[in-house]
Each structure stands twice: as structure tokens, then as C-alpha cells.
A and B are shown apart, each in its own frame.
Chain A
Amino acid sequence: MSLLSRLANALRPSRLNRDIDEELEAHIQDAIEAGRDPEEARRAFGSVLRHRESSRDLRLATWLEALLADLTFGWRQLNKHRAASLAAVLSLGLAIGACLAAFRLIDALLLRPLPVTNPQSLVYLTYPYIDNLATVQYDGEIFDYPQFRILKTAAQPYAELLAITGTSLNALSFGGEEDRERIHRQMLSGTTLGSFGIQPALGRLLTAADDQPNASPVAILSYEYWTRRFQRDPSILGRKFRYGTTLVEIVGVTQPGFTGTEPGAMTDIFAPTASNAKALDNPHWGWFRVWARLRDGVTPEQLRDALQPAFRANREQRIKNNPNDDAHRREQYLNAKLAVHTAASGVSDMQREYRIAMLVVGAVAALVLLIACANAASLMTARSVARAREMALRVSIGAGRARLVQLVLCEAFLVAVAASLVGALVAWQAAPMVVARLQPSGAPARFLLPLDARVAIFALALLVLVVLLFGCIPAVRASRTAPAAALRTGAQPARLGVLHALVAFQVALCFVIHLTTGLFTTTAQRLTTQPLGFQPQQVLAVEAVSRLGNKDRGWQPVIRQLAQLPGVESVGLSGWPLMSNNAWTSPVWVNGNALGSEECYVLFASPGFFETMRIALLQGRDFRISDDKASVIVNQAFARRYFDGANPVGQFVELPGDGKRERMAVTGLVADARYTGLREPIRPTVYLPIDSEGAGLDWGTYNIRTTAPDPMAVSSAVRNEIRRANPKLRAANVHRQTELVEQHSVRERLLALLSVFFAATALLMAALGLFGVLTYAVTQRRKEIGIRLALGSTAFAITRSVTASTGRMLLLGAIAGLGAGLLAQRYLESLLFETAATDPAVLAMPLLALLSGTLLACLPPVVRALRIDPATTLREE
């Protein structure tokens, strides 16, 4: 009660004053009424002011009153220096916004636990994966179903094993063929959602019974998709959609907020793993991750140890069926150890791809924030020097040191609050903008980016940190005020030590950011200018699926039909487009010998494919419709690697066929073209002809070169023509070939873009900081400079004396920044491509930027120093 009334009184002190005054005055009136002499009554009463003050201090929270007074005073101070305050608020706001946005992304991608019960007991399995070229080794995550069954049994006492696929874009239709739509679909073991503790918002969840091979096909919708697509229509239960050739019934909707297990992707439809019936008994088809819900008290290590024997036994069995000649690889394969990792925050390819990149962006944002803090600190320090007399006066009339610190921190707090508001605005807009750039080609990254307690707590912590970071130096300075020295009239010693240190600090951070930017922009530039070996412009890649039987042939005639469409220049069919994420690798024998363990890329191609892609035919001939698998075309890398660069046409190669090697004649040699990925060198590649009329292909890609600059213009005509030419073929995904190429450098281009933005911001801030400090220094030394000028000092000497210490700070900062940048480079390596911090081209950029920024920042103060008129300054005394 009483604390409340004191807090309330502190908020309206004038009302309290009136209250007390009235009571005291009433006393005197009573005394006069009682017949006392007014003069005497007042004298007897004593000082009204003193009594009021002592009553008042009893009746309000003095600390709060002081705080409010300081805040008001701080606000007036900020208002007085409006331009400087605005600069501080905006630069801090931008930096806080960048940090908040980075936090939202990092949190959504890496930290936020899945909205399931007890996410801490969720884990997933990996094994060391050695790719067919025996060069790359990473954590393999993808398992096949027969192996999953074995592991599931072995894990039974320790954990419940769950098969969970990635979220992939698929086409389905709720009506006829015409209204196909693309949705994100994820397949899971029937018991997964139950084990996650997900509640159905409508209907039921998937069950173990749904996940049996012959169960009737069912699926459930995510709440978010149900809302977006069906406006939460409850009659959706029991409705069926067509997926491929099957009709699938919708039996439920998940609870709100659960959008699958992959940060970076949101699942619309969940289906049981049994819906991929063809894969259930295929040991060569890896298609899902293995998750586990640990039973109470079981550690991940126990689960790993329990699974390892079953894992190895399975591999021993497989190697027996499929002996591998290479003893070393055989050892590697058998000795591979399972690993168990936490899956509390979900598991996704995007996490793997962007983990380091996001952390780097966060770190750079933090550096920018530090620069902004240093800026605000030097601004306030400079001001506090100017306010030294005010502080001294406060100390002389009895203000405690703590009160002075409070005064300065209040001002810092006001700036930080305003900056946080700006920052919130920036973060609100910036995070979705970055997400939109994550994967622009047809399958954009999708995140739930909730603005919830986690973000709010981070924002508050950031606010406190910022206040402490930029408020504490000026606050400590203010509290050290020695009244005697400060009140003395005359020259105030200009103590620039702290300001110079802050400048050096900013320069160092700025250098690190610019160095990183140099690395990222060079990487992006080198990656995007990698030679492709084909022309992606004006090419449309139309993936098509077939419902043709194995013996049907119908792919090739469609090529001729498509080629006759207006706007189409040429058409070629291939297994999948170049630069997609598909790859088929195979060992190759030349003249009966396997050449090392290196394997080649293989791709089906039709006549006209090379012409359409503008891949030059160097020797021999293109495929003919009559060609079968007995002929192949190889690229230059293949000829160099296997034929020492000699003409391979007419030679023979062997590829693994059905249980034996198949011998094929090389009929052509084509120029090198990129198969997938921009980072790897172009590998030996073998093109196989699509079986005379394309029999047996489940899916393929029509590559269409158009006459119009944007190939997408023919997209719907092509779709219709494919269906018309052969009703058993359907166009599925359609991409511009350029998009397929660009998807391999999305991360690098994003990093380059963000880091350029950060670098520009950092440079601007550092330059502003330097400008402020120099201007302040010149103002402080006006008289001295005036005397020097009067005594005949040259402009050069004045310039040198004004900028000398700054130059030293710059040098110091640049050296520190270079050192830090070189150290930081180690953590960036996986993001870089053919570049290093020691690269002169990379180093030149931060140096040039800093130098020009410094010059620009120095120019106005130097001009100001030179313009000082000795007569005026000396007269001021």
C-alpha cells in the first residue's frame, strides 16, 4: 500500500506539494482563528518549505522521483543536440535491428526447440558417408527402409525409432488434372506424431496401422496449410486428393504451430512412410532420416552402442551380396560408426547449409553493433567533457557519484530505447526479406518467424547490454569529476585518450567486417563466373512424369511436337536437367581396366540435347533416335582422364549393367559442361542415349531453348502440348535453367549482399565517429591553433598536428583488424571459394574503403582548423 502510494506520488510530485502546502496553511489559519497573532503563528510554525520537504520525502519514492528527473533532464539534453542524438539513435537502431533480425533467423533455424513434448529426448542417426569418388566424407543422414527395420528392432529396449523424410515439393490435385497444386509433403513413420505428443486439431493423427504396406492411403494436413488453403473448413475430413495415381484420404489436421521437423521448410501434408510402397523393400533406396525418441533414462551413447552391432552386421551382409574390390574402401565401409545427435531443434539440409553462414552473419551484426556503441560512447564522452562544469557543479552542491552515473545512464537508456524501437522495426522487416532470398528458385525457404517471448527477451537483453556498453565509459568519466579542477575557469584540459581508443576500436572492427566482405564478395564473384560449358539463358527445364508402362515408348515423339511450338528453337530430353541436385555416379572400365576408384557422372540424353544446351560437339556424332545403350558420348574431362586426351571416338568403355559390365562404343566427344555444383571441378561425364524411344523412364526433363528472352513465356504452351502429345505424360516442375544454375550460389550471393550492407553501414558509422572526434578536438584546440597560425605555422603543419594522433589510431586499428580478420578466416573457410584473406585483391578492398572513409571524415575538421582566424579566437579571451 504505502510503496504504491509513494510510487504514485513520485509520478505526480506537484500534486503532493499542493496537498502538503494546503495542510500546513490550514494549520496556520486554525492558529489565527484560535486568536493567535498571525505573525507569531507563522514564526512558531517555522519554515513551511522545510517541513514540506521533510514530509514530501516521507511520502514519495525519492529514488523514483530522482530517476524521473534524470530521465526528463536526459531527454532535454538529447533534444538540445538533436542531430547528434538522431545519428546515435539511427546508427544504434540499425545495428540493433540487424542483431535482432540475425537472432530471429538463427533462432528459427538452429535454436528453437520443436513444438513437441520433451524435445530434449529426440535424436537422429548419422554415419560417415564416403561418396563414390572417395573424396568427400561427411555425415550421411539418409537410410533405406530394410536397414531401418533392422535398426528399429535393435533399438527397441532403448528408443522408438522413427523414419522421417525431408520435406519435398510435390504435386497433387483436389479436383481434376487441371488444378494441380504444389505442396510440401513429408512422410513419417505412423507413430511419429503420437510420439511427438502432437494433438490433432481435427480428426485424428496418423497411426501405426496407417503405416502398413497395404493400408488404405491417408494423410493429414498441417494446421497452417488447412488455414491457408481451406480456411479451416472442418468438412475437409474424408475428402480425397489425387497424388500420382493414388487417391489419398484426409483424416486429420495437426495442432497449430507444428509445421514439420525441418527448420527452413514447412510441411503442408504428412503421409505415412508406407505410401512410398516401392521403396520399402529396396536396400538401395535411401530416402529418409532415422529419428529416435529415447526412452526415459537412456542416453544417446547407450542407443548408439546398442545399434552399432546391428548396423555393422547389416553392412557385412550387404558387402557379401555386392563385393567391392577395393580393400581400403571395404574396411572404411565396414568400420563406419553410427553417431547419435540431438534433434531437439529439428534437422534439415538448410541447417547444414546455413549454420556457419548464419552464425557469421550474426557475428558481423554484433560487430556492427559494437561499432555503433563505440560511436554513441564517443559522442557522449565528448559531450560529457563539454558538460564537465555542470557535473562539477552538481558534485559541489552534493550530488553523489552514483547520482551522476545514474544521470548519464538515464541519457544512454533513452537513446537505447529509441534505438531499440527503430531496431524492432528494422528486424520486423529484415528477417523475412532475408528468408525470401534464401532459396529463390521455385522452392523458397519457409520459416515461422514468431515474435514471441524468446525474441522479446533477447531484445531486452540487447537493450541492457547496449546501455552498459555505450553508457559506462561516459558514466565513469562523469563520476570522476573533480569539482575544483572543473570549476576553475580557463582552459579545460582536452583528454582525448578514451576517444582515440574508441576510434581505434571502431577502425579495427570496421577492418574485420570489410575483410570478411572482401572474402564473401570475391567468393560470390568467382563462383558465379565459373565456366558452365553450356548456355543456360533462354532454356526452360520441364520435368515430366510418366504413367507409361515399362515397355511403352512415348517420350521421344513429344520432342518433335514441342520443337514445333511457336517460340521454341530446339528441344532435347535428358534424365534430369544440368545443375539440378540429381547426380548419378558410376564406375567405368576402359579397355577392361577400372581406373582407380574414381567414378564418372552419367546422364541420359536424347538427340538434340547437346545442341539445345549449346554444348559443342568436338568429335564424332550426336545420338540418333536409333541408338541404344551400346553407344555413349563422353566429355573432354573423360577423354583427358581415360584416353590421355586422345580422340576417344571409336574406343570402348564398360559400365555396370544388370549383373555384368556392358560394353559400349564411344560415338562422340563433347565439350566439358557442368553437371552439378559450382565448387567442384568438371568431372569425367558419360552421356547415355535414352533408349530408342525413351522406354522405361519414370521421369525425365524436356530442355527447351526458346527464342524469347524469358523462356517461362512458353511454359503453359509446353504443358498443354505435352499432355496433348501423350496423355500418359504430365509436366511437373518447370524451372528456368538460369535458376537451376543460380541455386548453387544462393548462399554465397546472400552472404555477399548482407556483408556489403554491413560493411557500408560500419564504414559510415566509423567515419561519423572519426568526424565527431576530430571536430571535437579542433574545437578544443581552437586557441592553440589560432596562436600557431598567428605565429606563421603552415597549413601542412596544422593538418599534421590535428590528424597525427588519429593517423596513429587508424594504423593501430587496421593492424589489429587485419590480425583479427586473419584469425577469423579459419571459421569462414567452408563458405569461401578460391579466395583467402591474404589475396591482394581481397585485402585491397578494406584498405581502400577505410582510407577513403578516413579522408572524407578528416576533411571537414581539417578545413575547419585551417579556417580558424587567429584574430577572432584571441579576442575571445
Chain B
Amino acid sequence: MPKPDSLQGSLDLLVLKILSRRPRLHGYAIMAAIGEMSEEVLKVEEGSLYPALHRMEEAGWIRAKWITKENGRRARIYEVTAAGTKQLEAEESRWQAVTGAVNRVLKMA
């Protein structure tokens, strides 16, 4: 099982992708979604998710707002901005290029 820090560099990509599919998620839900979709292979180190979210928010890729959930508790939910969508496309194609290249190397070796 990959160690959490192998997510380094791909965390932005995952968060953007998930938010673009399912907007208006809060931090815990994003983390849960990553775990769920990767069938618990990828695990986000819980605390470090938030600095990453805040960094992306400052970069203008996602925006956040506070809502009140049905259970009465407040949650800070995130959605992708237009700049975030562009960023997602760029990151995605970069990821495809890198993984494709890695795969080609693995096949040839």
C-alpha cells in the first residue's frame, strides 16, 4: 500500500477532480471520497488536507463558503472555480503524460 506522502503532487489533482464531479463537499467528505473511490488505496493524511485546500483556495482554483448542515452543524464547503477547471485540465493531461511515460518504460524494461 502506497504511503500517504506518495500522494505528494497528485493531491491537488485528486481534490480538483472530485470537486468537479461532486461540487460542494466539505473537507471530511473530500477525504472520504478519495478513500472510497480509490478503494482505500489512497489515503490522505487527514491534517495536511486543510493546508492544501487553503493553498488552492488562495491560488483561486477553488472557493469556499460556510453552510449549515441538516444536523445543525456548520461546514466549510468547497467548489471549483473557472481557474480551477483550467488547472484541472492541465494537471490531468500532465498526469496522463507522466503515467503514460512511466508505463511505457515499465513495459519496455
Contacts and interface: CB of A to CB of B under 8 A. Distances in A.
B27 A27 contact: yes
Contact of B45 (A23, A34, A46, A55): A46
Interface string B33-68: 000000000000111101100110111100000000
A30 B26 contact: yes
B18 to A, nearest CB: 16
A51 B46 CA distance: 10
Contacts of A45: 46-47
A31 interface: yes
Contacts of A50: 47
B73 A58 contact: no
Nearest to A56: B54
B71 to A, nearest CB: 8
A23 to B, nearest CB: 5
Given A1-B60, A58-B55, A59-B58, A26 B47 contact: no
A135 interface: no
B50 to A, nearest CB: 6
Interface string A1-23: 11001100000000000001011
A47 B45 CA distance: 12
Nearest to B46: A45
Interface residues of A, number: 25
A6 B57 CA distance: 11
B32 interface: yes
A29 B74 CA distance: 11
Given A20-B50, A44-B46, A51-B50, A26 B28 contact: yes
B48 to A, nearest CB: 7
Nearest to B59: A2
A50 B26 CA distance: 20
B8 to A, nearest CB: 15
Contact of B75 (A26, A51, A54, A55): A26
A34 B27 CA distance: 14
Nearest to B51: A54
B68 to A, nearest CB: 11
B50 A23 contact: yes
B76 interface: yes
Interface in B64-104: 73-76
A462 interface: no
Interface string A548-587: 0000000000000000000000000000000000000000
Contact of B60 (A2, A6, A55): A2
Centre residue among B29, B31, B76 by max chain A CB count within 10 A: B76
A23 B47 CA distance: 11
Interface size class of B (residues with CB under 8 A): 20 to 34
B70 to A, nearest CB: 12
A832 interface: no
B46 A55 contact: no
B33 to A, nearest CB: 12
A24 interface: yes
A407 B109 CA distance: 60
Nearest to B31: A27
A332 B71 CA distance: 106
Interface string A38-63: 00000011111011001100110000
A27 B32 contact: no
A527 B46 CA distance: 89
Nearest to B76: A23
A34 B58 CA distance: 29
Interface core residue of A20, A22, A27 (most chain B CB under 10 Å): A27
Contacts of B47: 24, 45-48, 50-51
A58 B6 CA distance: 23
Contacts of B58: 2, 5-6, 58-59
Given A22-B74, A34-B32, A46-B45, A27 B50 contact: yes
A46 B45 CA distance: 9
Contacts of B55: 58
Contact of A26 (B32, B48, B73): B73
Contacts of A29: 73
Contacts of B32: 34
B28 A55 contact: no
Contacts of A24: 47, 50
A59 B73 contact: no
Given A1-B60, A59-B54, A30 B28 contact: yes
A5 B54 CA distance: 12
Given A20-B50, A55-B50, A58-B55, A27 B28 contact: yes
A24 B50 CA distance: 8
B16 to A, nearest CB: 17
A51 B51 contact: yes
Contacts of B45: 46
Question: Which one of A5, A50, A58 has the highest number of Cβ atoms from chain B below 10 Å of its Cβ?
Answer: A58
A222 to B, nearest CB: 57
A104 to B, nearest CB: 47
A50 B28 CA distance: 18
Given A2-B59, A30-B28, A46 B46 contact: yes
Contacts of B51: 51, 54-55, 58
29 contacts: A1-B60, A2-B60, A5-B58, A20-B50, A23-B76, A26-B26, A26-B74, A26-B76, A27-B28, A27-B46, A29-B73, A30-B26, A30-B28, A34-B28, A34-B32, A44-B46, A45-B46, A46-B46, A46-B47, A47-B47, A48-B47, A50-B47, A51-B48, A51-B50, A51-B51, A55-B51, A55-B54, A58-B51, A59-B54
Given A46-B47, A54-B51, A55-B51, 17 more contacts: A2-B59, A20-B54, A23-B50, A26-B73, A27-B28, A27-B46, A27-B50, A30-B26, A30-B29, A44-B46, A46-B46, A46-B48, A50-B47, A51-B47, A55-B54, A58-B51, A59-B58
